[in-house]
Amino acid sequence: KAGVTQTPRYLIKTRGQQVTLSCSPISGHRSVSWYQQTPGQGLQFLFEYFSETQRNKGNFPGRFSGRQFSNSRSEMNVSTLELGDSALYLCASSSGQTWGSGANVLTFGAGSRLTVL
Amino acid sequence: TQLLEQSPQFLSIQEGENLTVYCNSSSVFSSLQWYRQEPGEGPVLLVTVVTGGEVKKLKRLTFQFGDARKDSSLHITAAQPGDTGLYLCAGVYDSWGKLQFGAGTQVVVTP
C-alpha cells in the first residue's frame, strides 16, 4: 500500500512569509502527527490530529497550526516565518490506538525541508 | 516535560564490531520504540517494547527494556555498513500521549 506522502519536498521562503505543508496518510489511518527536526533540537513534536480533532499539542508558538480533513489528509501552516523555522518537517500517520497496546506504529513520510532566508 | 536522554551522540566503528546505544528517562514509559533514520528519509520503526524487562531480537539487533521501564538499550552485533544511520528512541508516558523522541545516536560503520 502507498506510504505517507508529503508535499512539497523542498521549499525556500523568506522571513515574514507563510507556508503550508501537506501530508497524505496511509489509507485507513486516522491519526496524523507532525514533527520538526533540526540538528540542534532533534525531533520536536508539533501536534497530532485524530478524526479531524487536535488530540495532542507540543510546545510551539501559535504561528504553527494544523488541521485535518475528513479524508484524514492533514496540512500544517507556519505564519510569519523566522530564520529558526528552517527545518525538516515530518508527518507520520498511525491507526491512533493506545500506545500501551504496543500496536500503535508511526509511519513517517520523507519530510518537507523548509529553508527560511 | 519529561526528557529522554540518548547516549552516545555519535559512534564510529569498524565493520564487525559490536555497539550499544542507550536511552534513559527519569519517568516511567508507557511504551518505547526504536527507529532508524537514513539521510533524506523519515524514521523507520525497528521495534516497540511495552513490558518491563522485555528483550526483543531483530536479526543482529537486540533491544532491552529496563525492569522499571525507565531505560532501554539497543545492541548491534557484528555491525555492517548497512547499519549506518541515526538511531532514535521514542517514548510515551501515558496511553494517549504524544510520542517524544530522544536526540538520537548517529552510528557510522566503515568497511
Q: What is the pLDDT of residues B60-100, one digit of tens each?
A: 999 999 999 999 999 999 999 999 999 999 988 776 667 88
The partner residue sitting opposite A100, judged by closest CB among B40, B50, B90, is: B50
The three cell numbers locating residue B67: 525492569
Residue of A nearest to B100 (CA): A45
Distance CA A79, CA B90 (A): 28
The partner residue sitting opposite B42, judged by closest CB among A41, A44, A111, is: A111
A50-63 average pLDDT score: 92
A27-46 average pLDDT score: 91
Among candidate residues B79, B81, B59, B82, the one with its CA nearest the CA of residue B19: B79
Task: Tell if the CB–CB gap between B95 and A100 is shorter than 8 Å.
Answer: yes
Å between A98 CA and nearest CA of chain B:
5
Contacts of residue A80, Cβ cutoff 8 Å, sequence gap at least 6 = A16, A18, A63
Helices (H) and strands (E) in chain A, counts: 0, 11
Give the pLDDT score at B34. 96
The partner residue sitting opposite B104, judged by closest CB among A42, A45, A105, is: A42
Contacts of residue A39, Cβ cutoff 8 Å, sequence gap at least 6 = none
Å between A110 CA and nearest CA of chain B:
5
Residues 73-92 on A with a CB inside 8 Å of B are 90, 92
Q: What backbone phi and psi angles, to 5 degrees, belong to B12? A: -125, 120
Å between B86 CA and nearest CA of chain A:
11
Q: Which range is least confidently modeled, A13-22, B4-13, B22-31, B53-62? A: B22-31
Q: Is the pLDDT of residue B103 over 70?
A: yes
Q: What backbone phi and psi angles, to 5 degrees, belong to A113? A: -95, 115
Give the pLDDT score at A99. 60
Following CA atoms A100, A102, A103, A104 in sequence, which dihedral angle do they give, to the nearest 10 degrees? 70
Q: Is the pLDDT of residue A100 over 90?
A: no
Average pLDDT, chain B: 92
Q: Is the pLDDT of residue B1 over 60?
A: no
pLDDT in tens, A3-12: 999 999 999 9
A81-97 average pLDDT score: 92
- Helix/strand/coil for A100: helix
Give the pLDDT score at A8. 97
Average pLDDT, chain A: 92
* Residues of B in Cβ contact (< 8 Å) with A109: 42
Å between B102 CA and nearest CA of chain A:
7
Q: Which range is least confidently modeled, A27-36, A108-117, B73-82, B97-106? A: B97-106
Alpha carbon A113 to chain centroid, angstroms: 12
* Residues of A in Cβ contact (< 8 Å) with B48: 102, 105
Task: Tell if the CB–CB gap between A99 and B44 is shorter than 8 Å.
Answer: no
The C-alpha angle with vertex A59 and arms to A56 and A60, in degrees rounded to 5, equals: 105
Among candidate residues B80, B52, B108, B74, the one with its CA nearest the CA of residue B6: B74
Sign of CA dihedral A88, A93, A99, A102: negative
Q: Which range is least confidently modeled, A4-13, A100-109, B21-30? A: A100-109
A73-99 average pLDDT score: 92
Give the pLDDT score at B109. 97
* Structure confidence at residue B33 as a pLDDT band (50, 70, 90): very high
Give the pLDDT score at A1. 58
